[in-house]
């Protein structure tokens, strides 16, 4: 191996170790004898997984836990023209400009949404669609925790060097792409000197993740889709190994997927927040985060802790899971649903029915992400290296990048 052979990192979204054990992905399994395979403990973080992988640091060190954090002064919705819809009916609209009551939009609203989609602006008007199903009346309270899908432009996160920063410091290039594998191959084919890159990172299989939510992880639909993804992986790896014979590979998932059997309706809690009769809330499918005065939070805590499969986290719980943030930007109170339970409506999919969901607080076979590494860069990896948790992926990448 030359000292310039690339490290290829493939994030195979939602590839549960259980999928590997059940032989949903035969090509992926066929690669295991070339290297080492592990199932990792699922990380308690909502969008902090990527920051953790990039830096080898826990969420409480990177400061990245969820996609949205409290911060009205830094919200991209502050200057969004769609906020004028609040004057019409603050309960009727999502931050994207869609109506919450499912009635059609008036033509001025349709025009504004069309213009915003066409002229995708940076800064105050960017990432509007990523606010998804958040009620307009609440959206301006939140900021993004970090810029998504631009990791190759981030040499550091909260002062911690990323793997991209390491490549830059070595004077070498890197590649990041979030797309299906055939599209990633097309992008890579257009780079004439790809064999001289330090790092090739592809985040893919997003449709396996989204379909897992719709059909459930043990469904026939997911087994078939996993097989199709696996075939694309076979074609991509064969092409890339021919193009870059000395490349080394780290293939991993960001989470697994667990079957959902119970949905808790938190619509009244959201409506209370909109009307100002309860604390501000942010609803993920498996967490309700809230900000408010002590009385409001105590009342909400009692309300949520009475639901089966739900736990209101103490500071000790958060510290133990590397998710304690003293400034409370991710919630002054956090209630988390255990595997099999979800909250609805959530601020990403609204009241959409979910049959599968990630898990964050509790570890199960279905929720354990897969990790596989092989290639020349790992011939000298110390035999006593134990890889058990998500931050350990950094150790592999750091070793391969030398």
* 60 touches 325 (CB < 8 A): yes
**What is the arrangement of strands in the sheet containing 280-284, beginning at the earlier edge strand?**
280-284, 287-291, 333-337, 310-312
* 20 touches 253 (CB < 8 A): no
- Structure confidence by residue, pLDDT tens digits, 53-74: 999 999 999 999 988 899 999 8
Which residues make up the CATH 3.40.720.10 domain(s) of the chain?
Answer: 7-63+147-259+363-401
Judged against a pLDDT cut of 90, whether residue 356 lies above it is answered with yes
pTM: 0.92
- Structure confidence by residue, pLDDT tens digits, 289-328: 999 999 999 999 999 999 999 999 999 999 999 999 999 9
State the pLDDT confidence band at 151, using cuts at 50, 70 and 90.
Answer: confident
∠ CA(234), CA(238), CA(243), 5° rounding? 150
The pLDDT of residue 2 is: 43
Identify which of 6, 36, 38, 20 has the alpha carbon closest to the alpha carbon of residue 233: 20
- Top-tier CATH class for 261-354: alpha beta
State the pLDDT confidence band at 130, using cuts at 50, 70 and 90.
Answer: low
176 dihedral zone (left: phi>0; alpha: psi -120 to 50; beta): beta
Greater pLDDT, 288 or 111: 288
Give Cβ neighbours of residue 205 (< 8 Å, ≥ 6 apart). 12, 13, 14, 15, 229
> In this structure, is the dihedral angle defined by the CA atoms of residues 19, 25, 26 and 27, taken in order, positive or negative?
negative
Greater pLDDT, 68 or 122: 68
Q: Which residues pair with 301 in a beta bridge?
A: none
- Structure confidence by residue, pLDDT tens digits, 228-254: 999 999 999 999 999 999 999 999 999
Note if the bond before 345 is cis, omega within 30 degrees: yes
- Structure confidence by residue, pLDDT tens digits, 81-112: 778 887 776 668 888 788 888 788 888 888 87
Judged against a pLDDT cut of 80, whether residue 119 lies above it is answered with no
Q: How far apart are CA 333 and CA 125, in angstroms?
A: 29
- Structure confidence by residue, pLDDT tens digits, 2-51: 467 899 999 999 999 999 999 999 999 999 999 999 999 989 998 889 99
- Structure confidence by residue, pLDDT tens digits, 180-217: 999 999 999 999 999 999 999 999 999 999 999 999 99
Q: What is the CATH number of domain 7-63+147-259+363-401?
A: 3.40.720.10
Identify which of 6, 53, 247, 59 has the alpha carbon closest to the alpha carbon of residue 163: 53
State the pLDDT confidence band at 124, using cuts at 50, 70 and 90.
Answer: very low
Judged against a pLDDT cut of 50, whether residue 123 lies above it is answered with no
What does the pLDDT average to over 367-393? 89
Tokens coding 368: 């354990």
Q: Which residues pair with 200 in a beta bridge?
A: 8, 175
Which residues make up the CATH 3.30.1360.110 domain(s) of the chain?
Answer: 261-354
Q: In percent, how much of the chain has pLDDT > 70?
A: 93
């Amino acid at each position: 191996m030359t000292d310039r052979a690339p490290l290829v990192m493939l994030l195979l979204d939602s590839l549960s170790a259980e999928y590997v054990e059940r032989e949903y992905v035969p090509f992926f399994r066929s690669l295991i004898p070339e290297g080492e395979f592990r199932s990792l403990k699922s990380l308690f973080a909502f969008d902090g997984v990527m920051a953790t992988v990039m830096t080898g640091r826990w969420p409480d060190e990177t400061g990245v836990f969820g996609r949205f954090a409290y911060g009205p002064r830094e919200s991209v919705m502050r200057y969004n023209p769609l906020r004028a819809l609040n004057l019409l009916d603050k309960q009727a609209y999502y931050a994207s400009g869609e109506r919450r009551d499912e009635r059609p939009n008036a033509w001025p609203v349709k025009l504004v949404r069309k213009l915003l989609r066409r002229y995708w602006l940076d800064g105050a008007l960017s990432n509007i669609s990523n606010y998804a199903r958040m009620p307009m009346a609440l959206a301006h309270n939140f900021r993004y925790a970090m810029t998504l899908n631009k990791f190759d432009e981030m040499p550091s996160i909260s002062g911690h060097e990323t793997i991209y920063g390491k490549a830059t410091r070595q004077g070498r290039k890197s590649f990041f792409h979030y797309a299906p594998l055939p599209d990633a191959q097309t992008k890579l084919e257009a780079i004439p000197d790809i064999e001289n890159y330090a790092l090739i990172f592809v985040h893919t299989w997003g449709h396996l993740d989204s379909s897992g939510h719709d059909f459930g992880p043990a469904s026939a639909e997911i087994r078939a889709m996993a097989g199709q993804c696996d075939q694309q992986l076979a074609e991509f790896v064969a092409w890339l190994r021919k193009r870059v014979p000395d490349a080394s590979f780290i293939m991993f998932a960001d989470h697994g997927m667990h079957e959902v059997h119970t949905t808790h309706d938190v619509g009244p809690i959201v409506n209370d927040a909109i009307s100002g009769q309860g604390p501000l809330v942010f609803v993920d499918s498996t967490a309700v985060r809230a900000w408010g005065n002590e009385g409001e939070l105590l009342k909400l805590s009692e309300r949520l802790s009475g639901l089966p499969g739900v736990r209101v986290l103490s500071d000790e719980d958060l510290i133990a899971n590397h998710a304690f943030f003293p400034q409370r930007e991710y919630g002054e109170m956090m209630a988390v649903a255990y595997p099999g339970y979800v909250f609805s409506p959530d601020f990403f999919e609204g009241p959409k029915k979910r049959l599968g969901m990630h898990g964050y607080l509790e570890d199960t076979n279905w929720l354990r992400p897969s990790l596989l590494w092989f290639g020349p860069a790992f011939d000298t990896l110390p035999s006593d290296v134990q890889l058990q948790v998500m931050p350990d992926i950094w150790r592999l990448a750091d070793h391969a990048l030398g």
